[in-house]
Amino acid sequence: MAIDFMVMPLSRYISGDFVTPMMRLAWQQGLPYKLIGPDGVRELPPGLPFGGEDAPRRRLRIIETILDDLRVLPRQIAAHLWDERSEAEARFHRVDLGSYHALVEYCAAHPGRSFLGLRTGAKVSHCTASLFLPCNFREPVDMTSPFERTAAAASRAFAELSRAKYPAEARGAAATLSAALEDSCRLRQPLIVDW
């Protein structure tokens, strides 16, 4: 099993208005892309977004609601929102589940520790979050809307990864997360950990 780091507006993720590399790969090989869910098997024909035919329209309908939810977050986030209407192509980074689990375990056990072992003052590691936002704030924030996630600052998580020396089993995930965080910061879009 793998985990995807997905860099895109929250509205795009929530509505399913995206096509993944695995979807494209299946279609290029002439295979249907199938999703297995509680309602059974659903097949997506070539070019159809993950959320179905209505995903782009659904996305447009929810953008303002998502922005309203984000505006009630701490000022360091609410005052520096990204473009939820962005049409930039989503970025995907796939990571091995075992390596990612090792990375999160290490980060949770060593918050605020630099590669020299010195304390940096952080109480909680930004790297253990399941949502990374392209704005700077000191401590991760528990969000309840537009969905329940712990949100961290992408730039701070990137700095933590750059300073730390991880165990061998976590290095692959650290490198993949670093690349995804660079995309998030450069594109000014959220990075969502998709299980």
Percent of the chain with pLDDT over 90: 83
Residue 1 burial (10 A CB sphere; 0-12, 13-18, 19+): exposed
Categorize the per-residue pLDDT at 117 as very low, low, confident or very high, splitting at 50, 70 and 90: very low
Mean pLDDT confidence for 148-156: 96
Q: Is the pLDDT score of 37 beyond 90?
A: no
* Radius of gyration, alpha carbons of the chain: 17
Token couple for 111: 């918050």
Please write the tens of the pLDDT for every residue from 101-111: 999 999 988 87
Residues 6+ apart with CB under 8 A from 54: none
Handedness of CA 105, 111, 112, 114 (dihedral sign): negative
Task: Output the average pLDDT for the chain.
Answer: 91
Evaluate whether 40 touches 47 at the Cβ level (below 8 Å).
no
Q: What is the pLDDT of residue 69?
A: 96
3-state secondary structure of 69: helix
Helix pair angle (171-187, 154-163), 10° resolution: 140
Distance CA 188, CA 116 (A): 30
Structure tokens at 161: 């990864």
Contact 21, 91 (CB under 8 A): no
Residue whose tokens read 């965080």: 181
Check residue 115 and give its pLDDT. 37
State residue 1's pLDDT score. 65
